[in-house]
């Protein structure tokens, strides 16, 4: 006797059922749950733990290595070197910007610019994860896409803008308050849209909402606290928010590298990148070692030379620019395959 499988009515499918980038466990742990590390770091700073210890751990063991780790799928990958070409040399002119600003007496402005670019990069990564979850769940609604993009970027960039207004542009307080009021109205509209989707049994994209639930309160908590510390509070904000971002990046990059380079004749196809994808220890040793050599060592040997501290920002800047190119899934079948997007 044969049986015919009947399709399950849409009304019986849970709207919370979702596909994940790596797996439910990995995504919850690394892409969402690692926000807990930033919350803990914030709590430690607020409790009076010296920032130096947290800063050193962040710079040497987590954030710095995540910046340098980009080389494992760009400079070390001969196919990517051929594709990116001259773009890999942007590090040279970028190394000049900071020292020139310091020489002109605008070091403080340079560091504000650097952290703003860093934060925009972080915001884009969070949205990139949202886009991957949308791709995994085959979400194609253009309105939903634009709404998610606008809401996430507003929720991550506006706290920084309010910080700048409160610490450097106090006379613009009415404008800052107006932006906050408009944002609260936007939050209400976004929540109403999610409720409407749930009531009509549309897919809710659980991981996307999970990320927003931990990310948005973190952004506002960190930047509003930092604004009470004056302009220098930007350092504390950068460290705490960078922790979450760095753990996300390490996991996504390792997932990509293991999939891309675990193929027959990988060494012939990709070069030395295949070697560093064999074992996580190789990857981590490379990231930490190069960060120590290129970033930490020059600053340690010349602690009083301000232009060197500014110059090494060339490596994060290069990381930001490369990331804007190398993670575009649309039109890149190799990347889609490495991220297991069908």
Please state the domain count of the chain: 1
Q: Using 50, 70 and 90 to split pLDDT, how confident is the model at 119?
A: very high
User: Does residue 36 sit within a domain?
Assistant: yes
pTM: 0.92
DSSP output for 156-218: HHHHHHHHHHHHH-GGGHHHHHHHHHHHHHHHHHHHHHHHHHHHTT----HHHHHHHHHHHHH
Provide the terminal-to-terminal Cα distance of the chain, rounded to the nearest Å: 35
pLDDT reading at 12 higher than 70: no
The answer to whether residue 8 sits within a structural domain is no
- pLDDT tier for residue 13 given thresholds of 50, 70 and 90: low
Q: Is 240 a residue whose pLDDT tops 80?
A: yes
* Residue 170 DSSP label: G
For residues 299 and 309, the answer to whether their CB atoms sit within 8 Å is yes
**Domain span holding position 258:** 18-338
User: Is 13 part of any domain?
Assistant: no
**Residues 6 or more apart whose Cβ sits within 8 Å of residue 233:** 163, 167, 225, 226, 227
78 contacts 274 by C-beta, under 8 angstroms: no
Query: Is 2 inside a domain boundary?
Result: no
Please check whether residue 307 lies inside any domain of the structure.
yes
And the tokens for 29? 């742990």
Q: Does residue 3 belong to any structural domain of this protein?
A: no
185 located within any domain: yes
- C-alpha 257/C-alpha 277 separation (Å) is 6
Whole-number pLDDT of residue 4 = 46
DSSP-derived secondary structure letter, 58:
I
Residue for token digits 């976004």?
A: 190
Residues whose CB is less than 8 angstroms from the CB of residue 97 and which lie 6 or more positions away in sequence, other chains included: 110, 310, 313, 314, 317
User: Has residue 12 been placed in a domain?
Assistant: no
Q: What is the CA radius of gyration of the chain?
A: 22
pLDDT tens string 259-279: 999 888 999 999 999 999 999
Tokens 């030395």, located at residue: 272
Comparing 4-18, 53-67, 186-200, 247-261, the range with the smallest average pLDDT is 4-18
Determine contact, residues 238/229, Cβ cutoff 8 Å. no
């Amino acid at each position: 006797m044969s049986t015919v499988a009947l399709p399950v009515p849409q009304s019986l499918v849970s709207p919370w059922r979702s596909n994940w980038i790596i797996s439910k466990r990995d995504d919850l742990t690394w892409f969402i749950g690692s926000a807990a590390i930033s919350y803990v770091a914030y709590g430690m700073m607020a409790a009076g733990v010296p920032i130096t210890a947290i800063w050193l751990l962040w710079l040497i063991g987590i954030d710095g290595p995540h910046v340098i780790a980009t080389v494992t799928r760009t400079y070390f990958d001969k196919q990517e070197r051929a594709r990116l070409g001259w773009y890999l040399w942007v590090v040279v002119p970028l190394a000049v910007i900071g020292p020139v600003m310091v020489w002109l007496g605008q070091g403080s402005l340079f560091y504000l610019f650097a952290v703003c670019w860093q934060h925009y990069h972080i915001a884009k990564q969070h949205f990139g994860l949202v886009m991957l979850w949308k791709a995994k769940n085959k979400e194609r609604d253009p309105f939903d896409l634009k709404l998610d993009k606008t809401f996430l970027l507003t929720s991550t960039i506006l706290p920084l803008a309010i910080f700048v207004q409160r610490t450097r542009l106090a006379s613009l307080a009415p404008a800052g308050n107006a932006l906050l009021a408009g944002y609260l109205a936007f939050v209400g509209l976004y929540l109403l849209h999610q409720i409407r989707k749930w009531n009509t049994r549309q897919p809710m994209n659980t991981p996307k909402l999970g990320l927003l639930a931990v990310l948005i309160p973190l952004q506002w908590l960190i930047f509003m606290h930092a604004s009470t510390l004056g302009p220098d509070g930007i350092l504390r904000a950068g460290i705490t928010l960078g922790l979450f971002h760095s753990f996300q990046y390490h996991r996504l990059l390792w997932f990509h590298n293991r999939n891309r380079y675990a193929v027959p004749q990988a060494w012939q196809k990709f070069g030395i990148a295949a070697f560093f994808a064999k074992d996580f220890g190789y990857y981590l040793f490379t990231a930490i070692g190069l960060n120590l050599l290129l970033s930490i060592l020059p600053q340690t040997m010349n602690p009083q030379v301000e232009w060197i501290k500014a110059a090494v920002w060339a490596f994060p800047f290069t990381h930001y620019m490369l990331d804007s190119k190398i993670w575009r899934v649309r039109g890149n079948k190799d990347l889609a395959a490495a991220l297991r997007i069908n």
